[in-house]
Structure formats: structure tokens, C-alpha cells
Structure 1
């Protein structure tokens, strides 16, 4: 296996690990009745399995890893900004009494954070993931404003499915490359 294939495999494993974990978290956001609740539990389990497979890929990819410290710093700054924006926004929404819109804000921030990650992670598919997450956030907001359906149900389900789908796709792309 070449060094580039090794790095790519490791990065795919990390993507599956991280996004599998976050998909599991998103699937836990909606308060849903049966049968949707059961489907969300199954999806959460699938996301956890995907995260575990990602962790195995990462563990098997240990070895001579070439680090790009500048890219690592950019990645860290982007993720810290994401967490700060989501956290501060969530606190502000809670203070003004709009807690039901916290999942919408967090989903939009998560979607937006993928755009600056495209050059850092060298993955143009992150543009699509980011845009799709922003669309899910908008759909959750509109649904909550014009219907009795909670924003968290739309956003939690949509974001979970998108993150799980991307995590599985990362693993499949790596498997196909082998």
C-alpha cells in the first residue's frame, strides 16, 4: 500500500469514526413516537457500527503517518469556531426562550463548518454535505414555523441520515480503492 493510499484509508476511517458518532447523537435529538422512534434507534445503532468500523480502519492504518501541522492547526481552529458558534448560539436561543430552534442553529453551523474544511481535508464532497446540512436546517426551521412538527425531529433525522450516509460513503470509497 502506498503512503497516499495509507493516508487516504486512515482519513476515511477517521471520517467514519467521527461522523458515525455525531450521526448517533443527531438521531437522539428527536422526540418521536413509534414507529419512527424504533427507526431512529436502528439508525443510531447503524451509526455506532459505522463508527466502530471507522475506528478499526484507523487502528489498522497505524504506522508512518505524515503530519501536516499547518492543516492540523486550520482543522482545529475551524472545529473550535464551530463549537463556539454553536454553543454561544444555543445559549442565546435558550435565554430568549427559543430553545426549540437550537437544533436548527447547530445543524446550520455544522453544515457551514464543512465549507472551510474542503481545502483542509482535500475532499470536495464536503461541499455537498455542508450544503445538504444547511438545507436540512432550513427545512427544520420552516417546518417548525408553519406546522406543529418540531424542528428537532426534522433536523435530527435529516442531519443523522446525512452524516451516516457520508460516513458509509467514506468507507466504501476506501474499500473500492483497495
Structure 2
């Protein structure tokens, strides 16, 4: 479940921590009232983890990384496709008057894009995150309907938790290797 490079684990903690906070924030669009303290705590913990990961990545910036010229180019293409697919899907959902499905659509795109990222970085933990985020995206709509909860709350809470746990795990991996 670990990566070869401290910098990559620390940078993953930064990225996953930052985006976990974003997902906890999206979940606050219309959550059940009892969820709000959990979502706020998740956002704060995510940002603290991101800050720690960012500082550790910065301190190891000149160390080894899985990214070289070819890997970086491929990563950029994968992320570009991710952003494009997310934007086009969100736009179509808005045109169709189905904006409530935007969060699960974006989560699905994020989950699927993480599979090639895991391969590029040779970081097995990211495969687990990819599978879990994809599963959350697919399960969110029926779960939200069954519980009469906003879909964005279900997707945001689930994806936020997965990304926060992965961010903390990556930070610990980086600290142990440090």
C-alpha cells in the first residue's frame, strides 16, 4: 500500500487532504442538521492534513519521485480528460435540469481517473481510493433516495471520508519513511 518516494506520499496527503475538504464542503449544500458538525470537523482535519502533507512534500521536493517527463505528460493528459469529462457531464446535467446528479457524476469521474493515476505513481493505496470513490458515486443516488437525504450530502460525506483517510494514511507513510 506504500509508494517508493516520500515526496509522492506527502504530495498525495496534500492533494487528498485538500480535495477531502472540498467534498466535505460540497456535502454541506443540504445535509441533515446532525451531519454539520461532522462535515465541519472533516473539513478542518482535511485542511490540517493537507498543510502537513504540503510542508513535508516541500521539504522533500528535491528527493525522488515517480514523475519524470513521460509520466508527467501522461498525468497531465489523464487529469485533463478528468476535468473535461467532469465539466461536460456537469454541463449536460445542468441543461437537462438534473443538477442534483452533478456530485455523483464528478465523484464517478474522479474515482475512474484515479485508476491510471495509481498505475502512473505505482502507489497501490490510490487503487483502493479509486475503487471506493467509484463505488460511492454509484451507490449515492439509491442511498440518498432510500434515506431521503440530498445526493450531494451522501457523495460528499462518503468521498470526503475516503479521501481524508487516504490523506492521513499517505501522511503517515511519508512520516514513517522520513
Q: Please, what TM-score do these two structures have when normalized by structure 2?
A: 0.90
- Which blocks of at least 5 consecutive residues in structure 1 are unaligned? none
The answer for the alignment partner of 1:172 in structure 2 is 172
The answer for the alignment partner of 1:158 in structure 2 is 158
- The Cα of 1:64 is off from its aligned counterpart by 5.3
1:58-115 C-alpha deviation (Å, 9 max, x unpaired): 1211335565100000111101100100011000001001100000100011000011
- Which blocks of at least 5 consecutive residues in structure 2 are unaligned? none
Alignment of 1:124-163 (within 5 A): 124-163=124-163
The answer for the alignment partner of 1:35 in structure 2 is 34
- The Cα of 1:173 is off from its aligned counterpart by 1.5
Instruction: Output the CA distance in 1 between the equivalents of 2:7 and 2:111.
Output: 23
| Larger RCO of the pair (alpha carbons < 8 Å, separation 6+) | 2
Look up the SS of the partner of 2:5 in the other structure: helix
Q: Superposition RMSD on alpha carbons, in Å?
A: 1.7
The answer for the alignment partner of 1:60 in structure 2 is 59
- The Cα of 1:144 is off from its aligned counterpart by 3.6
Look up the SS of the partner of 1:97 in the other structure: coil
The answer for the alignment partner of 1:18 in structure 2 is 15
Look up the SS of the partner of 1:32 in the other structure: coil
Say which one has the larger Rg: 1
Instruction: Output the CA distance in 1 between the equivalents of 2:14 and 2:89.
Output: 26
Moved over 6 A (4+): none
Instruction: Output the CA distance in 2 between the equivalents of 1:73 and 1:93.
Output: 30
- Alignment pair present for 1:123 and 2:123: yes
